A and B are shown apart, each in its own frame.
Chain A
Amino acid sequence: MLLVVIALGFSMAIMISIPSGIMANQEATQNLTENFNSTITDMQEEINKTATLIECQTSSGQGFPSGAPTGMPRFGSRQEVFVNETIGDEIRSIEGVKDVVPFFQKSSNETTSETMNTPRGSFTISRPLYTITGVCLNSSFIDSYSILPTNVTSGRNLRDGDTGVLLMSSNLSDYSGVGVGGIMTINGESFTVVGIYEPTSQGRIETRMVCMNITDAQTVTGQIGNVSRFDVYAEDASYVDEIADVITATYSELSVTTYKDRLTQLQNMQDMYNETLKNAESTLSQTQSVAFQEIVIAVVASSLIVLFTMLYTVRERTKEIGILKAIGFSNWNVMSQFLLEGIFMSLMAGVVGVAIGSVAAPTLSSLLLPHVTMFGTQRLAGSFQGPGNPGVTASQTATATLDPQLMLLAFGVAVLLGALGSLYPAWRASRTSPMEALRYE
């Protein structure tokens, strides 16, 4: 009997774990949706920005990728060429141009000689000690375009109005031993270090950088009025080609790059997010239908357990039934006796089930509904770290928990199953002939 109650209890535990798993799954999907929606919104913003960007680089100057303007100039010793910054004003007056952001970049005069170990052998290279980057610190630029390094690890970032100060990459700080608050001298001018940032890793050799107000950079390098690059933003993505053509035609010293590829990439990624969301939803609905089947099986199994146990009990107690009938119990008395026993057994099982369920619901539901845990952690997290992605990793783990309502429901189901499963055995008991039952041993 105890075994039966425990077996039945397991069955009931399954019955309550599944809905709790489903509920958790639903919640996870919902969280995921919210998460994704905000990611997609962010992405849309980036798409809008990227789509309207026209990068104008001085022809033989060093390119550096968009999205990390103060990032890494490509390593090498090409000649650095500058254009007059007044070109920026001219470009701004082209129809359809919304904004022009100038950048200045120049290698330091000092160079270092370094030995690198690669799998193909050791190389000794000579390169500039660091690169000076000048950024236009007008608050409208800082706020609208991502022109400053993002991961400042100590001190503060640059801000509007900064002059005589600089932001230093961590590798330069390590190399030179100058920290926040220290003084760095460039071409005889002193700058206070206000912050250190961690350069985003690109390639084996990271360029050491200092980052400062564009005017300071121009002055200290003797390049007053000169710039290395303009980031031109169009009013609308549809103007980009036209503007690019005009710039190319007018300024031969500028090489123009637009970001159609990047745009496609972003859009693909957005599609992927949407796709995954759809998958998540279909997974949920699949899981729900699996869960429904499993619940049906659990219910059927439970009623069968009750049925067979009660049939066995009735058989075992045939003699008792005979006695009860001989001393004047009615069919209904006998039947209700066994019905009540079945319900009682089922209720006990319900208690066991809730006990097991409250401990093991997460495990059970993840066993029974394989999608529940796989969901957030594996399938989704990996897919979304595309290049240049804002970096949202949507990961949701569904954890099943029991709420009191579910427990109450479980007891209700227990009573129902007990009644259902013992109906036939009880009926049979009530129909037993007392004379034959008395003879039964």
Chain B
Amino acid sequence: MSDMSELVLKTEKLDKVYKLGGRQVRALSDVNLQVKKGDFISIMGPSGSGKTTLLNMLGCLDKPTYGKVILDGIDVTKVPEKRLFKVRKYRVGFVFQTFNLMPYLNAVENVELPMEGTKKSGDEKRKRARELLKMVGLSEREKHRPHRLSAGEQQRVAIARALANNPAMVLADEPTGNLDSKTGYEIVRLLGTLNIDQGTTIVVVTHDSHMASRAGRMLFLSDGRLLAKEKQGTHLMEKALTCPNCGREIQPVDTFCPRCGRKL
């Protein structure tokens, strides 16, 4: 269906076995997954189905017991631990359920953090971080530390941070799990916008069906196996967003309708 060069990520027969107190637990078995450039994929499944394990594998935080993870054409399972940080730094961006911002750094500094140790100068880092914060709608809150930001705002900062080094894909682990439904919806819209406008490849792990349904493709994981059934999501941006009050078209990042000023 698609050209190999368009594949951002491919897994082959991915197996992961944990040892828990002498007992072997098979967290993943024979997972074959393909992610194309520009995909917005959600992976659903109940707790303990292996969602997070799979995501950790994709993000090079964990190594599979068997199988390959090919990211941007590189088999990352063969990259030695000492050099793996480069893959994490430049090829993937992580978004966590609990945001995981550095509490002692402000928004802009948090976004700059992954650019530490790159060739960018201080000014370039600052410029890039500001662009990203503007993109997620937080220009006004650059100097705020996480504790002075709302949960939704923190997650936006986290998304901006994930994008800092222009990664091949963004991996999000329950990005709305710690947010109320309204804020969660904002984050979903933001990810959708990024996917449409910037062509960012996104893989989201969630058990929030609302979130999942907004993705282009929905995959289901059960007991470590990827189920054959696959759904086409009603992609967020296939329908234009409208203000429920005045009916005008609005942007996903808007928190207030630009026409009537109603809070969305």
Given the contacts A323-B102, A435-B56, A329 and B61 also touching, CB distance less than 8 Å:
no
Q: Are B85 and A329 in contact (CB-based, < 8 A)?
A: yes
Is A208 interfacial (CB 8 A cutoff)?
A: no
Query: Would you give the shortest CB distance from A338 to chain B, in whole angstroms?
Result: 15
Q: Which residue in chain B gives the minimum CB-CB distance to A327?
A: B114
Q: Does A371 contact B (CB under 8 A)?
A: no
**Is the C-beta of A328 less than 8 angstroms from some C-beta in chain B?**
yes
How many A-B residue pairs have C-beta atoms within 8 angstroms? Tell me.
52
**Chain A residues near B59 (CB, 8 Å)?**
326
Partner of A328 from B82, B90, B96 at Cβ < 8 Å: B90
In the complex, the chain B residue whose C-beta lies closest to that of A331 is B82
The interface bits of chain A over 334-374 (1 if a CB of B lies within 8 angstroms of the residue's CB, else 0) are 00000000000000000000000000000000000000000
Partner of B165, one of A328, A331, A434, A438: A328
* B120 at interface by CB-CB < 8 Å: no
CA distance A319 to B100 in the complex (A): 8
The answer on a CB contact under 8 Å between B113 and A327 is yes
Interface string of A300-337 (1 = CB under 8 A from B): 00000000000000000001100111111111010000
Q: Are the CB atoms of A329 and B100 closer together than 8 Å?
A: no
A434 pairs with B89, CB closer than 8 A: no
Q: Is B56 a contact of A327 with CB atoms below 8 Å?
A: no
Q: How far is the CA of A434 from the CA of B81 in the complex (A)?
A: 11
Minimum distance in angstroms from A294 CB to a CB of chain B: 38
Chain B residues within 8 Å of A328, by CB: 85-86, 88-90, 114, 117, 165
What residues of chain B lie closer than 8 Å to A325, measured between beta carbons?
Answer: 61, 85, 88
Given A326-B61, A327-B161, A328-B165, A438 and B82 contact (CB-CB distance below 8 Å): no
**Contacts of A327 on B, CB cut-off 8 Å?**
88-89, 93-94, 113-114, 161-162
Q: Roughly how many angstroms separate A339 CA and B90 CA in the complex, as a whole number?
A: 25
- B12 on interface, CB distance cutoff 8 Å: no
Interface string of B180-198 (1 = CB under 8 A from A): 0000000000000000000
Task: Give B97-121 as 1s and 0s: 1 = Cβ < 8 Å from A's Cβ atoms.
Answer: 0001010000000000110110000
By the criterion CB–CB under 8 Å, are A438 and B100 in contact?
Answer: yes
Q: Nearest-CB distance from A433 to chain B (Å)?
A: 8
The answer to whether B230 has its CB under 8 Å from any CB of chain A is no
Q: Return B54 CB to nearest CB of chain A, in Å.
A: 12
CB-based nearest B residue for A431: B81
* Nearest 10 pairs of A and B residues by beta carbon: A328-B89, A330-B85, A328-B88, A435-B61, A327-B114, A323-B100, A435-B62, A434-B61, A326-B94, A435-B56
15 contacts between A and B (CB under 8 A): A320-B102, A324-B113, A325-B61, A325-B88, A326-B61, A326-B100, A327-B94, A327-B162, A328-B86, A328-B90, A329-B89, A331-B85, A333-B85, A333-B116, A435-B62
Q: A323-B96, A328-B117 are in contact. List 4 more A-B contacts (CB 8 A).
A: A325-B85, A328-B86, A328-B89, A435-B62
A→B interface (CB under 8 Å)? 319-320, 323-331, 333, 434-435, 438
